[in-house]
C-alpha cells in the first residue's frame, strides 16, 4: 500500500476544501480526476506534506502525513504542471542539483542525473542550458528531476501538457513503463482523460472535496452506469422527463443522437416503454462502449 488516507478534512479559512477523504492507493498507476476547485490540488499538497490536515490522518509510503513530511518528500517524486527550471544551468547540473537537494550524495546525484537523462531521452542534450530546451524537452527534464532520486511514488501533474502528439505518446509510454515495470507507483493528475485511460488501471474522482468514485477504471465503468445511444422520431421533452424521473440522464449531441446514462440495475425495456407512452419512435438503439469521459460526466454531474 503506497498511500492510505483516513477521513481527511481540510479548510482554507471558512472554505471547506476536503471533507472526509478516505482512499487507498496501491501499486501501479492511478489517475486523479476532478473538475476545477474539486480539491485535487489540496489533496496533492497534503500527500506531499505541504499542508497538514485539519482532521484525519494517513500515511504515504509508510510515513505519517503529520509528523514525517520531510521523509515523504525525500521518497516521492513530483513533476509539476508548470514550465519550471533554474536558468543558467545545463540539464545534467540541474537534475543532479535537485537530486542533491533530495539528500543524495553529490557525486552519486551527478552519476544518476546522467542515467535518468538518458532514460527520458535527453542524453544528447544534457550539457545544453535548460533555457534553450524546447517545451517538449523541458517536460522530459521535469520527469528526469522527479526520477533522479529513485522515488517509490511519483506524482505527475499534467505530464503531457505542451507536447505535440508524438512527444505526448513517448511520454505516456515512458510513464506507463515506469508504472508497470519499475516498481514505482504513479499518481497521474490530468485533465486529458485519454492519458489517464491509456496509463492508469485505477482512478480516483474527486468532486466538491469528496471522493465521487474510486477503484479500477473498468469496474467503475461497469458499476456506475450503462450507456445507450438512440435515434428517435418524435418529441423529446416528455420522454426525457420520464426517463430522468427514473434516474437516467439524457444528452443530445449535435447530430441528434440521444445518449442515455442509466443506473446499473436499470431495465433497458423501460426505455422502450417510456418511448411508447410518449409517442416517440425509436429508430436506432445500441448499447454503447462506455468511455472515461462518460464515467466522469456521470459521476461529477457535468457534460
Partner 1 sequence: MSSIREKGYHHWDGQFLDRPRAFWPITRTGIKLAFGRKHFKLGYTFSFLPAMIYAAIIYISERLEDFKFIAQGGDKLLQVNPNFFKSYLTLDLLYFAILILMSMGGAGLLADDFRHKAVQLYFARPLTKADYLLGKAGVVIFFVGTLTLVPAVLLYILKLLFAGSFAFFLEYPWLILSILAFSLFMILFFTAFILLASSLSNNRNYVISIIFGFYFFSEILRGIFSVIFRSPFSALFSMAANLKQVAAGFFLVKPPYDYPWYLSFLLISVFCFLSYLVVKHKVRGVEVIK
Interface residue list for partner 1 (CB under 8 A)? 41, 44-45, 48, 50-51, 70-71, 73-74, 76, 78, 80-89, 93, 97-98, 100-106, 108, 112, 115-116, 118-125, 134, 136-137, 140, 145, 147, 149-150, 157, 170-171, 173-174, 177-178, 182-183
Q: Which residue, 68 or 270, has its beta carbon nearer to partner 1?
A: 68
SS3 string, 43-105, reads: HHHHHHCCCCCCEEEEEECCEECCCCHHHHHHHEEEECCCCCCCCCCEHHHHHHHHHHHCCCC
Q: CA 41 → CA 156, 179, 268, 284, distances in Å?
A: 12, 21, 39, 43
Q: Which residue, 126 or 226, has its beta carbon nearer to partner 1?
A: 126
Residue 292 C-beta: closest distance to partner 1, Å: 23
Cell triple for 206: 474527486
Q: Which residue, 50 or 272, has its beta carbon nearer to partner 1?
A: 50
Q: What does the DSSP 8-state code read for residue 289?
A: P
Residue 12 C-beta: closest distance to partner 1, Å: 10
Q: Which residue, 105 or 263, has its beta carbon nearer to partner 1?
A: 105
263: part of which helix (H) or strand (E)?
Answer: none
Q: CA 183 → CA 22, 175, 212, 216, distances in Å?
A: 24, 12, 28, 19
Cell triple for 143: 520527469
Taking alpha carbons only, the member of 30, 68, 31 closest to residue 48 is 68
Q: Cα–Cα distance between 277 and 264 in angstroms, integer?
A: 23
Cell triple for 10: 481540510
Q: Which residue, 84 or 286, has its beta carbon nearer to partner 1?
A: 84
- The pair phi, psi for residue 298, each rounded to 5°, is -65, -45
Q: Cα–Cα distance between 173 and 158 in angstroms, integer?
A: 15
Residue 191 C-beta: closest distance to partner 1, Å: 14
Q: Which residue, 112 or 221, has its beta carbon nearer to partner 1?
A: 112
Residue 286 C-beta: closest distance to partner 1, Å: 39
Q: What does the DSSP 8-state code read for residue 129?
A: B
Residue 86 C-beta: closest distance to partner 1, Å: 5
Residue 144 C-beta: closest distance to partner 1, Å: 11
Q: Which residue, 150 or 197, has its beta carbon nearer to partner 1?
A: 150
Residue 279 C-beta: closest distance to partner 1, Å: 52
Q: Which residue, 140 or 226, has its beta carbon nearer to partner 1?
A: 140
Residue 172 C-beta: closest distance to partner 1, Å: 11
Vertex 33: Cα angle to 189 and 78 (nearest 5): 15
Amino acid at each position: 500500500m503506497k498511500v492510505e488516507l483516513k477521513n481527511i478534512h481540510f479548510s482554507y479559512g471558512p472554505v471547506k476544501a476536503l471533507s472526509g477523504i478516505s482512499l487507498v492507493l496501491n501499486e501501479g498507476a492511478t489517475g486523479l480526476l476532478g473538475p476545477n476547485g474539486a480539491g485535487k490540488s489540496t489533496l496533492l499538497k497534503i500527500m506531499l506534506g505541504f499542508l497538514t490536515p485539519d482532521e484525519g490522518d494517513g500515511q504515504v509510503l509508510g510515513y505519517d502525513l503529520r509528523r514525517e513530511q520531510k521523509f515523504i518528500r525525500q521518497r516521492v517524486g513530483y513533476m509539476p504542471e508548470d514550465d519550471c527550471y533554474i536558468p543558467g544551468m545545463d540539464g545534467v547540473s540541474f537534475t543532479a542539483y535537485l537530486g542533491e537537494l533530495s539528500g543524495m550524495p553529490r557525486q552519486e546525484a551527478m552519476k544518476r542525473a546522467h542515467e535518468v537523462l538518458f532514460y527520458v531521452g535527453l542524453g544528447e542534450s544534457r550539457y545544453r542550458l535548460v533555457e534553450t530546451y524546447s517545451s517538449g524537452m523541458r517536460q522530459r527534464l521535469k520527469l528526469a528531476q522527479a526520477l533522479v532520486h529513485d522515488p517509490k511514488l511519483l506524482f505527475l501533474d499534467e505530464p503531457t501538457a505542451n507536447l505535440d502528439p508524438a512527444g505526448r505518446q513517448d511520454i505516456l509510454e515512458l510513464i506507463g513503463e515506469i508504472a508497470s515495470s519499475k516498481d514505482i507507483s504513479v499518481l497521474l493528475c490530468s485533465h486529458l482523460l485519454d492519458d489517464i485511460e491509456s496509463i492508469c488501471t485505477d482512478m480516483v474522482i474527486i468532486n466538491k472535496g469528496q471522493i465521487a468514485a474510486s477503484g479500477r477504471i473498468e469496474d467503475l465503468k461497469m458499476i456506475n452506469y450503462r450507456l445507450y445511444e438512440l435515434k428517435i422520431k418524435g418529441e423529446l421533452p416528455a420522454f426525457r422527463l420520464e426517463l430522468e424521473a427514473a434516474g437516467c440522464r439524457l444528452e443530445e449531441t449535435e447530430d441528434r443522437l440521444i445518449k442515455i446514462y442509466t443506473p446499473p440495475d436499470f431495465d433497458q425495456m423501460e426505455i422502450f416503454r417510456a418511448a411508447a407512452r410518449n409517442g416517440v419512435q425509436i429508430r436506432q438503439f445500441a448499447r454503447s462502449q462506455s468511455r472515461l469521459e462518460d464515467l466522469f460526466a456521470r459521476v461529477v454531474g457535468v457534460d
